[in-house]
Amino acid sequence: MILSPDISPEMIKKLSLAEKEQLCSELRAYIIDVVSSTGGHLASSLGTVELCVALHSVFNTPDDKIIFDVGHQAYAHKIITGRYTDFRSLRVKGGISGFPRPDESEHDAFIAGHASTSISAALGIARAMELQGDDHTVISVIGDGALTGGEAYEGLNNASKLKRRFIVILNDNEMSISKNSGAIAAYLSQMRSSTKYFETKKRVKDALSKSAIGRELAKSVSGTKELVKFAIFQSNIFENLGYKYLGPINGNNLADMIDVLNVAKQYNEPCIVHIKTKKGKGYLPAEQNSGEYHGLSKRPLIMSSEKYDTYSETAGKYICELAGQDDRICAVTAAMKYATGLQHFAKAFRSRFFDVGIAEEHAVTFAGGLASQGMLPVFCVYSTFLQRCYDQIIHDLAIEKEHIVLAVDRAGMVGEDGETHQGLFDVAMLASIPNTVIYSPSNDKELCSCLHKAFYDCDGIAVVRYPKGIACHSSNNFDDSDIHFYPKGGKALVVTYGRTVNNAVAASEKTNADILALTRIYPIPKEAVETALKYQKVIFFEEGISSGGIGEKFAFELMKNGWNGKYRLCAVDGEFVSYDDTDSQLARYFLDTDGIIKITGETLEQT
């Protein structure tokens, strides 16, 4: 058994190749074991085990800097950099994050929660090191999915000017979360299948002979079969940008990986190492369905046959239903077809389905272009990724007065993914933009009703936001009003929206408070304000940030009408919400049933 609590980069460097290969097998088994109980990003990290072992065989962190793009692929890196024992607390409150975090380990050079950022961050680190006289290596690890994002090319463009060692490892597994699409995916596929190899021994030896270290390395690898498995592609987009190019390399062959990284280390200029890996490597279900096993919730890897629709699936199916009745409806996703429930639409209406890759800004402006020609586009996107699109929403939609639907998935607390993925900022961001309507349904039928209104009852930007998880089922006597009032004859009014409505209604059985549920949350319905003006005590519960949120705006509307009662707002105030299970996160901010009972009781007791 090689893998142990004492595993470290220093230990790895002392292992034989056979021992390192055994370590890779043990790392895979350990990752599968832990993720099966804690949840996490399984398939990506299984595919990069050899890469992580090779990186720590060749480079010396924390002096050398490794920046992982997104961080889904960094679990093996975490384990072998002093976090073997802590890995069992993955994504658990008080445990370690699912993403690289510099405040967690000196071996994590930069936080990585969103895609396409690693090259830019690595370039900034490299320039800072250059200014400080530090000639250690900076390595960016970026997936081919993240390479569909525009920021990656901005980084590549600027990094090509470096006159120092700078390595970009392109981890090519033909996937982001959904199957990659577009010209870049096709280009990489062509490179994998039709690359013209030429004799590499001389090229590699020439590269190694440029330094004393390289000459010694050349002696040690001379004549090996692994050496001639390298290839340098003679003319490609990366070389045209000014990079040395090594690849494609089998990224799941440890010997090849160690050799190619040793070669890349000898170049005193920017270098691309193109590796081909198998997402889900070593775990057959993840290999066969890497999209399904991209990210797992806290559950056993053997799935239950029982099936319930999530909010994402409910939205995706209803959008598909509407598209069957209206051929103007188009669906847009940023590499999230399955995650946002659009697989049904993609199958039924292929010509009206657009997966633009990890390019959210482009998706918004592209949708604006569709709308300008009379189409009805819906962009299905996670709340956390919509944050990237603020300028495009203002400039290319709102000012243009284009009508599109933003289906904002994972709105609110999302649990174990932590600070980088919480959907807490979309309301404050979108409510600041003129000509925008925002809906926040609390159950499955409301979600469908809100989507219908967004398509057909609104002009401009129409937003429907909904949470992660199984959709709450509505009662049979469904009412599609913009507000819902639940009178209890109480002396205080609880106001809320989204899934918190269900907790507030449950809490009302034990409190002397009436409930006002907002389905259209912005612009705030006049009748909602008129209802609240009748109370001297109003409590607003909001699963979002307090600054700029609906709770703050609701209070302002009351004050404009001369209201002088007691107002309390429970929301996230001035902080980022760390990783924990969603129920615990809701409880922390008094947004669960018990929290609403507690805050309402305290408010009623106040004179």
And the tokens for 103? 């405040």
Which residues lie across from 364 on neighbouring strands?
A: none
Which whole-number Å values give the CA distances from 96 to 301, 352, 434, 580, 582, in the listed order?
A: 21, 42, 40, 10, 16
Q: Catalytic residue at 278?
A: no
Q: Catalytic residue at 279?
A: yes
Q: Catalytic residue at 65?
A: no
Give the chain's end-to-end CA distance (angstroms, integer).
67
- At 73, the amino acid letter reads Q
**Residue 167: DSSP 8-state:** E
Say what angle helices 17-38 and 254-266 make with each other, to 10 degrees.
110
Catalytic residue among 360, 402, 446, 542: 360
In the chain, DSSP finds a helix count (H) and a strand count (E) of 25, 17
Catalytic residue among 78, 165, 265, 279: 279
And the tokens for 358? 């990890």
Alpha helices in 341-458 (DSSP H): 343-348, 360-372, 383-386, 390-392, 426-430, 444-456
What are the residues whose beta carbons fall under 8 Å from the beta carbon of 137, sequence distance 6 or more?
59, 64, 65, 165, 166, 167, 265
Catalytic residue among 91, 388, 453, 468: 388
- Which backbone phi and psi does 572 adopt, to 5 degrees? -80, 125
And the tokens for 425? 């900022």
What are the residues whose beta carbons fall under 8 Å from the beta carbon of 513, sequence distance 6 or more?
488, 490, 491, 492, 493, 494, 539, 600, 604
Which whole-number Å values give the CA distances from 465 to 257, 329, 405, 485, 557, in the listed order?
A: 44, 19, 10, 21, 23
- Which backbone phi and psi does 556 adopt, to 5 degrees? -65, -40
Classify the phi-psi angles of 280: left when phi > 0, otherwise alpha if psi is within -120 to 50, otherwise beta.
Answer: left
Its sign, for the CA torsion 184, 186, 189, 194, is negative
CA angle, 296 then 53 then 217, to 5°: 160
Catalytic residues: 279, 360, 388
